[in-house]
Amino acid sequence: MSTRAGTDGRWSRRRFIGMGAGAAAVVAVPAPAAPDPEPSGGPGRRTADRGDGPRPLYVGTYTSVPGGGTGIGLASYDPESGLITGSGTLTGVPDPSYLAVHPDGRTLYAVDERPDGGVTAVRLADRQVLGTRSTGGAGPCHLSVHPSGRWLLSANYTSGSVAVHPIDGSGALGERTDLVTHTSPQPGPGQEGPHAHQFRAGPGGRHLLAVDLGTDTVYTYRLDTAKGTLSEVSQAHTRPGAGPRHLTFHPGGRHAYLANEVDDTVVVCAYDPATGRLTIGEPQSTGATGDVTNYPAQLLVTADGRYAFLANRGHNSLARYAVEADGARLRLLGTVPVGGDFPRQIALSPDGRLLFAANQRSGTVTVFHVDADRGELRSAGEPFASPVAVCALPL
């Protein structure tokens, strides 16, 4: 059950505890390079061709912690070698801890992970900030763009709510059209309240799914695409205390994979595209071994649906899975060291040949070559230093 009685809640710095100081902040902001007419990097955008030359990379950070950045990190990467070259910082966006790009590639969106949470739009052609809108909650930690390109979806971690904002033709954001706070079920073991950690569209965009770590629940909503309002249609519950964090879908659209942060597991889920109903399966290993506390963060699936990768914070590794039975099964292949400390987020390049890991405590972005045939990961070289790197978005 959810309610639209939005609450700012009580801001907690728990999410920042234990972050080590990153590299020295980059403060120079050079004039932007000539805009790329067709940025790549996700559904609805051009796939980068071999030999394209340098591609844009944006890095999210925290600006309000010791050793943090001063805004969104600006860089480029070589799609062949994976080498990252820094080019400055886009200032004026506070605590941009998660980033997403519009399907047309022209606008970048960032959460402002603060007590008075916001979402900010940036026009990429000239790096002009188009404005910030309130999320109606505290500590937004995730956002995504609806496949139609008309709606921005954000998750307020601290207040346990999800928000919808309209996107106009210029990429700018309008006033919030809905805010839903998770009130049922009750918080799971060790949790003081709901903690929405992700809000995204399901395959086809008909339904939206909100992953809430605090209530051990994935909520499914139907989006009114004329009004931008939400109607809850179902709930899927993990085992108590699992702490679900991040959900990703198999390209076939009938299975999804859920990373549970608190109990250090992953789960294969069945998904019904017609109803939006998610059915959560049995937990399985993240590959983290030894005397270490591990917090799985983000899952990726390759475009061909053959392999999946998981970021392990604590174990500081990337788990590799073979995807079998048309998406219905994950088979753990092993882990590789991530080459940094506390990988909070991972992303594939548009062509799927590179994997980027944002390592929060070491303040680095590490890059791996992806073997499409065997699902193997090979380091692309020395890490790229970026203060408190918590999100890396390659276009």
Q: Output the DSSP codes for 147-162.
A: TTSSEEEEEETTTTEE
Please report the pLDDT score of residue 11 as a whole number. Answer: 31
Least Cα distance to 202 among 252, 253, 240, 237 occurs for: 253
- With tokens 């699936």, the residue in question is 301
Q: Which amino acid is at 4?
A: R
pTM of the predicted protein model:
0.89
Taking only the tens place, the pLDDT of each residue in 25-37 is 333 333 333 322 2
Taking only the tens place, the pLDDT of each residue in 164-202 is 999 999 999 999 999 999 999 999 999 999 999 999 999
Tokens of 261: 């942060």
Please report the pLDDT score of residue 1 as a whole number. Answer: 60
Rounded Cα distance between 287 and 371, Å, is: 20
- Determine how β-strand 229-237 pairs with β-strand 217-224: antiparallel
Rounded Cα distance between 8 and 47, Å, is: 40
Measured CA distances, 370 to 26, 81, 278 (Å): 29, 12, 30
Three-class DSSP category at 204:
helix
Distance of CA 347 to the CA centre of its chain: 8
Quick one: CA torsion of 56, 108, 244, 282, rounded to 10 degrees? -60
Please report the pLDDT score of residue 77 as a whole number. Answer: 98
Lowest mean pLDDT among 41-45, 51-55, 176-180, 375-379: 41-45
* 290 touches 315 (CB < 8 A): yes
Please report the pLDDT score of residue 220 as a whole number. Answer: 98
